[in-house]
Chains A and B, each alone.
Chain A
């Protein structure tokens, strides 16, 4: 861990970053997000398999900050979120000091040891163990056993169902939704100043947790992430009802790749998918 602490201390003392968003350990040996403002704070920063949170979501908090760059500890999967935010002009590359970590996988459940069964599914689908770009990189990447991709199996099952069965399946999943909006709060790509569900005039999506309101909310959430989700899987992790939310996003990502060859969060200079169009987009479904 010392590599990380030294780099962070140097970043603050050398004025490379005004603050550093990272992880710290609590008394249960879980990692939680932590923002270091001073050199002394940087000693508390740490990184290990328990670093589950996607810290890119905290960048929105410092959006209007004018002095100093924002340091952020990033694992390769979270870096895609930052690249995507730069693509969408939400943050500027020059305002960031990216401390990349070579990832060795993260756990599903922080109470258990890191093992094949206790590895997040995203670790299997992750593009690499080294961040694609960074200002400085720390940690050693250790090989680890990749987990089973249960979501891909579930996706296949759903695709083989008839439309009625699919609606039945999603209905039974969304029935559990309690509309806590944790999926929205944790998502680095959900950053509207006022979310559509919070608008009351007109109220497009009912605020009660009835089946149809849940269906509407989850559809609209998935659509607002269409071609934007970077697959960090945080929505799945925080959902108190264990709804496989990332399946919808993953499906949208697959469509974006199939139809347009587009993957969000891979190139910070690329235009966004929904923000642009091509005159040659296919339209065989339009009469």
Chain B
């Protein structure tokens, strides 16, 4: 029914999970909003204290929960509220994106950016760019197919809800 109402099969709107740091990117996105800058409405912002707080398991969890793309964004190097959080994060990302690339989640679904609190315009560019890239890439059905629960036909026949 939902499909019919929104005619989703014809028009695909990507879901973007955006992990943003409290001190820079979240404030930057806020600035974009208060400045009435027009931006794509596809991102769901998840505010974390610092990019150093972002465990790679968050990113996996976002894909599991149905995200078509993930954006991770924080303060520019040297601007971190906690001095070195984003440096630690950057080194982690270098490793993690190579791992996901090797496992088959390519870099057009996983994006990184530095957006400071004053860069409302940059935030709009980033979010528009990411949304466009993921929209071109299409829905992440391949991952969602994995998300199906275990198939137990015998139980289904008996009417047991799995």
Q: Within 8 Å of chain A (Cβ to Cβ): is B84?
A: yes
**Chain B residues, CB < 8 A from A165:** 104
Contact of A170 among B56, B87, B92, B104 (CB under 8 A): B104
Q: Known contacts being A277-B87, A277-B88, A283-B90, is A163 close to B106, with CB within 8 Å?
A: yes
Query: A146 an interface residue at 8 Å Cβ cutoff?
Result: no
CB pair B104 A169 closer than 8 Å: yes
Q: Roughly how many angstroms separate A167 CA and B147 CA in the complex, as a whole number?
A: 13
CB <8 Å contact, A274 and B129: no
User: B57 and A287: CB pair below 8 A?
Assistant: no
Chain A contributes a number of interface residues (CB within 8 A of B) equal to 45
- Assess the A212–B150 pair: CB atoms within 8 A: no
A281, B90: Cβ atoms closer than 8 Å: yes
The segment from A58-66, A186-194, A218-226 that touches chain B is A218-226
* Cα distance A116–B54 in the bound complex, in angstroms: 46
Interface string of B116-142 (1 = CB under 8 A from A): 000000000010010000000000001
The closest CB in chain B to the CB of A209 belongs to B150
Contact with A along B96-120 (1 / 0, CB 8 A): 1111111111110001111000000
What is the bound-complex CA distance between A286 and B89, given in angstroms? 12
Q: B104, A220: Cβ atoms under 8 Å? A: no
Q: Determine if B94 is an interface residue (Cβ-Cβ < 8 Å).
A: yes
Given A219-B60, A277-B90, A285-B107, answer yes or no on A163-B99 (Cβ-Cβ < 8 Å): no
**B52-106 contacts to A (CB < 8 Å):** 55-57, 60-61, 64, 77-78, 84, 87-88, 90-106
The interface size bin for chain B is: 35 or more
* CA distance in complex: A73, B100 (Å): 37
Q: Bound complex: CA of A255 vs CA of B102, how far in Å?
A: 11
A-chain residues with CB within 8 Å of residue B129 when the two chains form the complex:
287
Q: Is there contact, CB below 8 Å, between B98 and A212?
A: no
Task: Tell me which of B60, B61, B78, B102 has the highest count of chain A C-beta atoms within 10 A of its own C-beta.
Answer: B102
- The A124-174 residues at the B interface (CB cut-off 8 A) are 158-159, 163-171
CB-nearest residue of chain A to B110: A285
CB-defined contacts of B142 to chain A, threshold 8 Å? 164, 167-168
Asked if B60 and A166 sit within 8 Å, CB to CB, the answer is no
CB A286 to nearest CB in B, in angstroms, measures 4
Kindly list chain A residues whose C-beta atoms are within 8 Å of the C-beta of B97.
285
Smallest Cβ-Cβ distance to A165: which chain B residue: B104
Tell me the residues in window 256-287 of chain A with beta carbons closer than 8 Å to chain B beta carbons.
256, 259, 273-274, 276-279, 281-283, 285-287
Chain B residues whose C-beta falls within 8 Å of the C-beta of A168 in the assembled complex:
104, 142
| Minimum C-beta distance from B152 to chain A (A) | 12
Interface string of B135-158 (1 = CB under 8 A from A): 000000011001111100000000
B98 touches A251 (CB 8 A): yes
Task: Please determine whether A286 and B104 come into contact, CB atoms closer than 8 angstroms.
Answer: no
Q: A223-B96, A277-B88, A281-B87 are in contact. Are A205 and B57 (CB under 8 A)?
A: yes
In angstroms, how far is the closest chain B Cβ from the Cβ of A259? 6
Complex Cα spacing A196 to B55, Å: 11
Evaluate contact between B112 and A204: CB separation under 8 angstroms.
no
In the complex, what residues of B have CB within 8 A of residue A227's CB? 95
A163-B106, A168-B104, A279-B77 known; A287+B112 contact, CB < 8 A: yes
Q: Write 19 A-B pairs (CB below 8 A) sorted by A numbering.
A: A165-B104, A167-B104, A167-B105, A170-B104, A171-B104, A210-B146, A210-B150, A219-B56, A220-B57, A223-B96, A223-B99, A226-B99, A255-B95, A277-B84, A278-B91, A282-B94, A283-B77, A283-B90, A286-B113
Q: 10 nearest interchain CB pairs? A: A167-B104, A166-B104, A163-B106, A287-B113, A277-B87, A211-B146, A286-B112, A212-B146, A226-B95, A255-B98
Interface residues of A (CB under 8 A from B): 158-159, 163-171, 196, 204-205, 208-212, 215-216, 219-220, 222-223, 226-227, 248, 251-252, 255-256, 259, 273-274, 276-279, 281-283, 285-287
Contacts A167-B104, A216-B60 aside, 17 further interface pairs with beta carbons under 8 A come to A167-B142, A167-B143, A170-B103, A210-B150, A215-B60, A215-B146, A219-B100, A226-B95, A248-B99, A255-B94, A259-B94, A274-B91, A274-B95, A277-B87, A286-B90, A286-B114, A287-B129
